[in-house]
């Protein structure tokens, strides 16, 4: 069993301790919001700041009609509705669907937050 302390709300560190009697032999990976946070050897305590997690947020892109192709910073990421994890900061979102005008939206993704872009596509 791995025991995880509850960090204080202002804390950015996480400590893990795996008991020596644990069947955990070499590596324990803790995934938090899809991001690799920490790894530890059995019987050793590992502390690692969570500052890398604060560099990411998520972006949800929805459109009417749905099924439109979504590009973030000129890279195809999927079709609406689509949710992606991104570095914090400004991103260019393009939403394309045959028979409709391309929607172009700049959005700011905040660290640790979910941003939403809703687009009503206009017919050509």
Domains and CATH numbers, the chain: 13-51 (no CATH), 57-120 (2.60.40.1120)
pLDDT for 29 equals 43
Beta strand 82-87 with 56-64 is antiparallel
pLDDT tens per residue, range 64-122? 999 999 999 999 999 999 999 999 999 999 999 999 999 999 999 999 999 999 999 99
Residues 6 or more apart whose CB falls under 8 angstroms from that of 71 comprise 77, 93, 94, 95, 96
User: pTM of the full predicted structure?
Assistant: 0.59
Cα–Cα dist 81/110, whole Å: 20
Q: Is the confidence at residue 24, as pLDDT, over 70?
A: no
Q: Is the confidence at residue 15, as pLDDT, over 70?
A: no
Pick the closest to residue 107 from 97, 122, 118, 99 (CA basis).
Answer: 118
> For tokens 């690692």, what's the residue?
48
pLDDT for 17 equals 53
3-state secondary structure at position 54: helix
Express as a percent the part of the chain with pLDDT over 90.
56
């Amino acid at each position: 069993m791995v025991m995880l302390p509850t960090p204080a709300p202002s804390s950015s560190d996480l400590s893990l301790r795996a008991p020596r009697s644990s069947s955990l032999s070499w590596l324990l990976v803790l995934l938090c919001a899809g991001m690799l946070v920490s790894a530890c050897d059995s019987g050793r305590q590992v502390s690692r700041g969570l500052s890398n997690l604060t560099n990411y947020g998520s972006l949800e892109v929805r459109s009417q009609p749905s099924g439109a192709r979504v590009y973030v910073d000129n890279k195809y990421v999927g079709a609406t509705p689509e949710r992606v994890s991104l570095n914090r900061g400004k991103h260019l979102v393009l939403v394309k669907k045959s028979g409709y005008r391309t929607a172009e939206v700049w959005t700011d993704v905040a660290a640790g937050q979910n941003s939403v872009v809703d687009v009503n596509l206009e017919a050509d």
